[in-house]
Chain A
Amino acid sequence: MGCKMTDTDPQAGAGDADTVAMSGTANKTTVAVAKPAPVIEPNTVVAVHDVHKHYTLPRETLWRDPTLVHAVNGVTFTIEKGRSFGVVGESGCGKSTLARCVMGLETLTQGSVEFRGQNIHALPVEELRQLRRHFQMVFQDPFGSLDPRMKVARIVAEPIEALEDTKLDERRARVIEVLRAVGLKESDTDKYPHEFSGGQRQRIAIARALITRPALIVADEPVSALDVSVQAQVLNLLQDLQDEFGVTYLLISHDLAVVKFVCDEVAVMNEGVFVERGPTEEIFANPQHDYTKTLLAAVPQIGG
């Protein structure tokens, strides 16, 4: 799952590399801890309440209990309709696990994820499946997340094929509509993924997420694999789609500048918890937590 906490703790320098950072201690200070159950505003698209996700690592010896990794360790937040919430942090901080928890792709150790007031982890399988059309995901790697043997039309239509009872010509019309929305052409429907560049493939992935007309899109590092000039095109596209369709975003990224560009609100994640959270402008202008300051200071800037 890529969430083992084996990377160097940035504050500890280059030390303790191959020890598993155990972040499960109760004395971790979090800014965002809110114990009472969240009050669901009518405008709230997603409400994440005190989510914990622990993984068991393979047993190293027979005589010791297997190590537990606390990938996500008590995270609470809500996202309003049409807003963008960014989670930023370094590899191993638990941000991708958090995205998968919000998408209902992981079972939670503790806590709840409510999508429009429904706890998705408590829903029966079939109901959750039906609800899924309203929240879709865009993955990081545009080369690994599209089936190389399917044509674009089928890749993009797959979510509605699985979730809705639509006729062939209606499906095709919807495919063309979303492809246009992401800046691709009608003639692209009969091509295979390998015929596209990285940026175009990420557009296809976004089109696939858009086709069910979701209220929420969870994007896990959507531009990390792209070249700079192409990254800008995709970031602009995300903004345009939000303006046009009022999509809500949960954006996961290690790149502070990307999060700052896209998001209204941002949370800085480290070792499974939000160390700081607030309106983007405020966090970047006036970071309070030492870890946020370290992160910001480490970004190589042009000028200065």
Chain B
Amino acid sequence: MTLLAVDNLTVTLNTVRGPARAVRNLSFELQKGQTLGIVGESGCGKSVTALAIMGLLPENGWADGTVKLAGENLLTHSEDQMCQVRGNRIGMVFQEPMTSLNPLHTVGRQIAEAMRLHRGVSKAEARTEVLRLLDMVGIPEPTKRINSYPHQLSGGQRQRVMIAMALSCGPELLIADEPTTALDVTIQKQILDLIRNLIEDLGMAMILISHNLGVIYQNVQDVIVMYGGARVESGPTHDVFANLSHPYSQGLFEAVPQIDDTKASRRRLRTIPGTVPELADLPAGCTFQDRCDYVTDACRPTQPPVVQIAAGHIVACLHIDAARKQWAAR
């Protein structure tokens, strides 16, 4: 059953340099219980996509297209209607647990807030539920911690609290925007394992946003690679990584030093020349044209065609064959 259907989503932000299209014609579907990763560098539109789904775009931004949650178009919802969706049917975990938690309230109160609001439960019931949630996300001594303030917890524990908040109303969809970027690797592993197990147990769908290819590879069934606001490649995670076909996805993969590389075997990293383009003045045609090894004049005037190269594996590029040939020969 389709839970979330994003169709032709375009997000425009009014900036001092003119309108910037932060997300361009993005479409994807998410089934119940499915996990989807969105990967890309800063400014690729991955976080803005999440904010558009949540109806949390900044005041200078607006979204076109449709975002349907179980058939209802969220983009035409009023603010009151969105309040019934946020925190209730869609839970969100933000990147920076220190700035996303309110420093003036105890974590217990913050976790209970959504339940009190959406479910109308009594204070006592909410407390029992919060204790259960704290225990579920692996915080020791919940009865003590329920009265702690965010600054009394470590980064990993704060992120566990954020997860408890997001899960408090049993949402159908969890959006996790760089949930572990601010954390150490060992804590990152604990948090990601926790999220993965909870998703399986509770049968939720998840959108995991990350810039880390390893995190994406290990945690989601499907992946979308975004660049300059547009999808450049998508498909089942393991198929995509086994057969990277867009020049940008390939470049991204090669640019990351891998732990099983050796200094002798790989003296230089392959880099993507140049920098991420400004969203306010994106080129017409393919967004990656200025940094691409395979660019030809044909790439410049129009958007590249979207080609399905295997079941579910989609690539938006004019020169897929050349890129794949080169990749296979590397």
A interface with B by C-beta (< 8 Å): 6-8, 10, 13-15, 17-18, 90-91, 197, 199-200, 227-233, 235-236, 239, 254, 256-258, 260-264, 280-281, 284, 294-303
Contacts and interface: CB of A to CB of B under 8 A. Distances in A.
Nearest to B180: A300
Given A228-B211, A260-B259, A300 B270 contact: no
B268 to A, nearest CB: 5
A236 B185 contact: no
Contact of A227 (B211, B218, B241): B211
Given A227-B41, A227-B276, A257-B261, A233 B188 contact: no
Contacts of A17: 152-154, 156-157
A239 B271 CA distance: 14
Interface in B115-169: 138-140, 152-157, 160
Contact of B192 (A10, A258, A300, A302): A300
A302 B255 contact: no
Contact of B257 (A8, A235, A298): A235
A296 B259 CA distance: 8
Interface in B214-268: 214-215, 217-219, 241, 251-264, 266-268
* Residue of B139, B186, B252, B267 with highest tally of chain A CB at under 10 A: B186
Interface in B252-303: 252-264, 266-272, 275-276
A229 B41 contact: yes
A41 to B, nearest CB: 22
B80 interface: no
B184 A257 contact: no
Taking residues whose C-beta sits less than 8 angstroms from the other chain, chain B's interface range is 35 or more
A238 to B, nearest CB: 11
A14 B189 contact: no
* Residue of B187, B211, B219, B254 with highest tally of chain A CB at under 10 A: B187
Interface in B52-79: none
A90 B259 contact: no
Contact of A260 (B185, B263, B268, B272): B263
23 contacts: A7-B156, A8-B155, A10-B184, A13-B138, A14-B190, A15-B140, A18-B152, A18-B154, A90-B185, A91-B155, A232-B271, A233-B271, A235-B257, A257-B258, A261-B266, A281-B262, A298-B185, A299-B185, A300-B188, A300-B192, A300-B212, A301-B217, A302-B241
B100 interface: no
B96 to A, nearest CB: 14
A232 B270 contact: yes
Interface of B: 41-42, 138-140, 152-157, 160, 184-190, 192, 211-215, 217-219, 241, 251-264, 266-272, 275-276
B157 A8 contact: yes
B268 A236 contact: yes
Given A91-B155, A235-B269, 13 more contacts: A8-B155, A8-B187, A10-B184, A14-B157, A14-B160, A18-B153, A90-B185, A228-B41, A232-B254, A257-B257, A261-B261, A298-B185, A300-B215
A262 B262 CA distance: 10
B214 A302 contact: yes
A232 B184 contact: no
B187 A229 contact: no
Given A18-B154, A261-B257, A301-B214, A295 B41 contact: no
B258 A13 contact: no
Contacts of B253: 302
A261 B157 contact: no
Nearest to A17: B154
Given A236-B269, A280-B263, A300-B214, A229 B185 contact: no
A8 B185 contact: no
A297 B192 CA distance: 14
Nearest to B41: A227
Contacts of B263: 260-264, 280-281
A159 to B, nearest CB: 27
A263 B263 CA distance: 8
A254 B184 contact: yes
A295 B270 contact: no
A119 B208 CA distance: 50
A283 B84 CA distance: 53
Contacts of A232: 254-257, 269-272
Contact of A298 (B186, B269, B275): B186
Contact of B255 (A231, A256, A262, A280): A231
Contact of B275 (A230, A256, A258): A230
A14 B185 contact: no
B41 A239 contact: no
B171 to A, nearest CB: 23
Q: 6 closest Cβ contacts across the A-B interface?
A: A300-B214, A17-B154, A10-B186, A232-B255, A90-B184, A261-B257
A262 B267 CA distance: 9
A297 B190 CA distance: 12
Nearest to B154: A17
Contacts of A263: 263
A302 B264 CA distance: 21
Given A14-B140, A236-B269, A300-B218, A229 B257 contact: no
A263 B188 CA distance: 24
A232 B157 CA distance: 32
B276 A301 contact: no
B17 to A, nearest CB: 14
Nearest to A7: B154
